[in-house]
Amino acid sequence: MDLSAAAVVVLQAGAVLLLAPLFAGIAARWKAWTESRTGPPVLQPYHDLVKYLRKEVVLPTGASRVFIAAPTVAFAAYVVISVVLPIATPYPIEVASLVDFLGGALLFGLAAVVTLLAAIDSGSNFPALGASRAVSFAALAEPTLIIVFFGVAVISGTNNPYVTNNVLASSLNAYLSPTHLLVMAAFFLLLLFETGKLPVESSGLGEFGMLDEGRTFEHSGRLLGLFRWNGWLKQFLLYAVFLNVFALPWGMLSQPTVAAAGFNLIVLAAKMLLLVVVLVFLEATLAKIRLFKIRDYLAVSFSLAILALFAFAVLGGA
């Protein structure tokens, strides 16, 4: 690996790690505007993070090493994912050949599983309740994710996000094919579910419908800080996949230089701001659906994903 390629890898990982809280802050601020509030400063997530990292860690009685290690393991998984996706480059960077789409999904799965184990390991009722709830719905979301990968695979003939990006960016017909549009729609519904957005989950504090936040109730100090960071990373990475692979694959420079990668990151940031606007709009207009209706929501996303494959078959490879 030459110096420039290594620099691109470091740039991409660093950008993901450092920018992830920023977009959470921007989203919170803009959402506050839609509610006629001033809202927290854009940099609030960074302040929160620093505060968490300084605070004392309190462990529940009987918590084992799983409880302590979980945030770090999940964090490591997200760091790996951050260097295998087309975030700063439309060509695979040096370490990108570690995993394909499915491998990326497994890493997301690993992060989710250790978070769940930590919740159960806390020995407390509330995180365990959150964990069981999260799993009941995640189990319904997983088939959609797999079918979405099949959809991607039939569009591009591979299971590689970079190839998908290139195929979609270079062919308008591939972009406008029903298979791709349906896969994109299914993935968008999944994205809202996975990042805990309305209509699935409202981001208020400690309400009973929450799926994600409940799991980390017993964690404190830097462990909680890491979990928060993980949440932002997951959100950033899913946004990046949605934007750079599915929705807006255009506008990336393919020169293997640090400057081009930096430009691509700025383009991605612009796309992400657009996505944040859309999400804030959705959050401002949609009401939260009842807990048991989440099943219906996921069934719809699953139906769309299946229809994507169906469209591919019926239209004879379109």
Partner 1 sequence: MDSTITIEALLGIGMLLTALYLQAESFLDPMVRAVAVQSLLLAGLLLWLAYVDRDVDLVIVAALVVALRVAVIPYILQRQIRAFHWRAREVRAAHRVAGHALAAVALAIVAWFIFQETLAPALPDLPGIALPFVLLAEGLLLLATRTNTLAQVIGYIEEENAVVYAGVLFVAAFPLLIEMVVFLDVLGVILVAVILSFQRTVIGIPEEELMEELSG
Tell which one of 39, 60, 109, 178 touches partner 1 (CB under 8 A). Answer: 178
Smallest gap from Cβ 295 to partner 1, in A, equals 5
Residues 6+ apart with CB under 8 A from 138: 112
DSSP string, 243-304: IIIII--------SSHHHHHHHHHHHHHHHHHHHHHHHHHHHHPPPPPGGGHHHHHHHHHHH
The reply on whether position 317 binds partner 1 by CB under 8 A is yes
* Torsions phi, psi for 255 (to 5 deg): -70, 140
**Percentages helix, strand, coil for the chain, rounded to the nearest 5?**
75, 0, 25
Q: Which stretch binds partner 1 (CB under 8 A): 53-61, 100-108, 173-181, 269-277?
A: 173-181
Q: Which lies closer to partner 1 via its Cβ, residue 188 or residue 232?
A: 188
d(Cα 168, Cα 191) in Å, to the nearest integer?
Answer: 20
N-terminal to C-terminal alpha carbon distance within the chain: 39
Tell which one of 35, 173, 205, 287 touches partner 1 (CB under 8 A). Answer: 173
d(Cα 233, Cα 283) in Å, to the nearest integer?
Answer: 20
The reply on whether position 203 binds partner 1 by CB under 8 A is no
Tell which one of 67, 162, 246, 302 touches partner 1 (CB under 8 A). Answer: 302
Q: Which lies closer to partner 1 via its Cβ, residue 6 or residue 140?
A: 140
Q: Which lies closer to partner 1 via its Cβ, residue 109 or residue 178?
A: 178
The reply on whether position 310 binds partner 1 by CB under 8 A is yes
The reply on whether position 126 binds partner 1 by CB under 8 A is no
Residues within the interface to partner 1 (CB under 8 A): 172-173, 176-178, 181-182, 293, 295-296, 298-300, 302-303, 306-307, 310-311, 313-318
